[in-house]
Structures are given as C-alpha cells and as structure tokens.
C-alpha cells in the first residue's frame, strides 16, 4: 500500500516469489507452506491489485499471478472489470485457462486493441472464427457494438470488408462512425475526396480519426480543400484539424493562416493557433 511505486513493486514481487498463501477462510491465521503453490497473496487480492494500481509494472505482475492462480471465481471479475486494457487482457487469458472461451465474445468489442486481440485468440482456441462474429455484428447497424468496425478491420479482408466500413461511416452513432474511419486507416485507404468529406463530420472524434488517416498523405491533399475548412463558417474541431493538415502539407499558406487564426473570435481556435505560433507569436 506504499505510495512509492518502487516499494510496491518490491513488496509485490517478494510476496509472489515466496510461494506462500493464507487460508481465505481464516485471514488471521499464519501463512502456510504449500511447496510451489500460490503466493503470499490470495488470488482475489492479486486481481484487485492489478485492477486498481496505477503502475503498469504492478498491474502486470499482479495480473499474471492472479491469472496463474487458477481460481476464476475469485479473479475473473476484478480482472475483466479493470480500467486498464492490459489487465482486462490478462482476464481474457484467464477465461481460456478456465475453459470459459465463449465468455470472451463481448471483449471482441473492447475499447483496447490488446483486449480485442486477446478475445480473438481465446475464441480461436475454441474453434470460433471471430471474423464471422464481427461481420454478423456489422450486418445490423441498429444492434452493432460501436467498436465492431475496428475489429473487422483488424482481422478482415480488404476486398470483402472495406465496403462495409465505408457504409458505416454514415452510422447515426458518432463512436461507430469514428471506429469505421479508424478501420479505413487500418486498410490504408487513399480515397482522398471521400476522406476529406469526413473532415466535415459534426462529431470531433470522427474528424480526429479522419485527420489521422489523411496525415501521412497530407502533401498530396488539395491545398484549397484544407484552407477552406479553416474558415469561420466551420465547426471549431474541423478548423483545427484542417490547420494541422495544412501544416503537414507544407503549405506556404500555413504561417499566414496561423497568424490570421491567432486573432479568431472562437476561443478554442484562437488558443490552438497561438499555441502553434509559440514564441514567434
């Protein structure tokens, strides 16, 4: 429980390596030797440490020890509910160890790419094709989990699944649209006119993903398309992303545009432009 992370790491490592355990039915009883059995901490204590500690090293050590404890009833709940993806992924591994492969399916749509990959691996160990599950989920936009497009891009086939992702860029939910755009980036899409149109989306997350997809090709984008999107008639998040693409484009108009926007009426745009100017402003 020390606030010093080095102390916590050391204490946990010693506790895990001592190969001792307490009787869960009698927490006050002295620790007993069990050969090379569980560590000093109970499986639930390890899982809870992994789920709440902010230090990645502690998370990894505690999660690995909890998953190895082979006590799914005590460990799976805290591991799979953790805020950190690496800990949830350890919970996915524990599902496989417990023979509960089917319970990994909801984690195909997790916000963490590591957890999604782990869930796919667990399901494959049970003979289940995760790509088929992703495709079935994306076939019904009304019930589709918002991150299903990410999964289909991570393990799908360009010729088959790219049209599905393009269609989902028009989904009514912003998170689903942004996931579809991120999926386009995974397929290295270079349809610049269609991608530029996504910069006009009302949701900042969608515009962010569209800008990230266009950034590697910024020098090939029409300059007038970017300049037009920095104008006062656009949403602030559209203007800011267009300005950054203009910078990556290497446009001669970038410096002039930044100086113009440093006096903009919108406080968010003005702040970003002055930040881009730095000491020169």
Mean per-residue pLDDT pooled into runs of 10, the chain (281 residues): 91 80 46 49 91 93 88 91 93 91 96 96 96 96 96 95 97 98 95 97 97 95 95 95 94 91 94 83 51
3-state DSSP call for residue 266?
A: coil
pLDDT score of 39:
61
| Side-chain-side CA neighbours of residue 281 (13 Å) | 18
3-state DSSP call for residue 149?
A: helix
pLDDT score of 19:
54
pLDDT score of 278:
75
Task: Name the one residue in this structure whose structure tokens are 């009833």.
Answer: 73
DSSP annotation string for 22-76: --TT-TTSPPEE-TT---SS-HHHHHHHHHH-S-HHHHHHHHHHHHHT--HHHHH
CA atoms of 40 and 102, how far apart (whole Å): 31
Question: What distance, in Å, lies between the first and last C-alpha atoms of the chain?
Answer: 47
pLDDT score of 23:
46
pLDDT score of 67:
86
3-state DSSP call for residue 80?
A: helix
Domains defined for the chain, CATH in brackets:
14-126 (1.25.10), 129-189 (no CATH), 193-281 (no CATH)
b/e map 29-42, b = 16+ CB within 10 Å: eeeeeeeeebbbbb
Task: Name the one residue in this structure whose structure tokens are 């950054």.
Answer: 244
Kindly state the tokens that stand for 85: 């993806």
Kindly state the tokens that stand for 239: 């203007």
pLDDT score of 243:
95
């Amino acid at each position: 429980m020390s606030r010093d992370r080095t102390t916590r790491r050391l204490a946990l490592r010693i506790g895990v390596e001592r190969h001792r355990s307490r009787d869960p039915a009698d927490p006050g009883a002295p620790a007993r030797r069990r050969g090379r059995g569980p560590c000093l901490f109970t499986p639930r204590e390890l899982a809870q440490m992994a789920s709440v500690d902010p230090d990645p090293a502690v998370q990894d050590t505690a999660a690995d020890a909890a998953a190895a404890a082979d006590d799914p009833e005590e460990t799976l709940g805290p591991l799979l509910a953790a805020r950190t993806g690496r800990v949830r992924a350890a919970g996915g591994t524990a599902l496989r160890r417990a023979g509960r492969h089917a319970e990994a399916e909801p984690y195909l749509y997790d916000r963490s790419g590591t957890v999604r990959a782990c869930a796919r691996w667990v399901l494959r160990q049970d003979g289940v094709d995760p790509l088929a599950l992703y495709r079935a989920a994306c076939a019904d936009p009304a019930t589709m989990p918002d991150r299903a497009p990410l999964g289909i891009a991570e393990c799908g086939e360009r010729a088959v699944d790219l049209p599905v992702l393009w269609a989902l860029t028009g989904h009514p939910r912003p998170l689903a649209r942004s996931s579809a755009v991120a999926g386009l980036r995974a397929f290295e899409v270079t349809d610049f006119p269609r991608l530029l149109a996504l910069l006009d989306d009302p949701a900042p997350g969608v515009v962010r993903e569209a800008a990230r997809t266009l950034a590697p090709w910024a020098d090939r984008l029409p300059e007038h398309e970017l300049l037009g999107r920095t104008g006062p008639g656009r949403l602030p998040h559209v203007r800011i992303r267009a300005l950054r693409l203009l910078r990556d484009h290497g446009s001669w108009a970038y410096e002039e545009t930044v100086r113009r926007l440093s006096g903009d009426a919108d406080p968010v745009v003005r702040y970003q432009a002055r930040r881009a100017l730095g000491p020169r402003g």
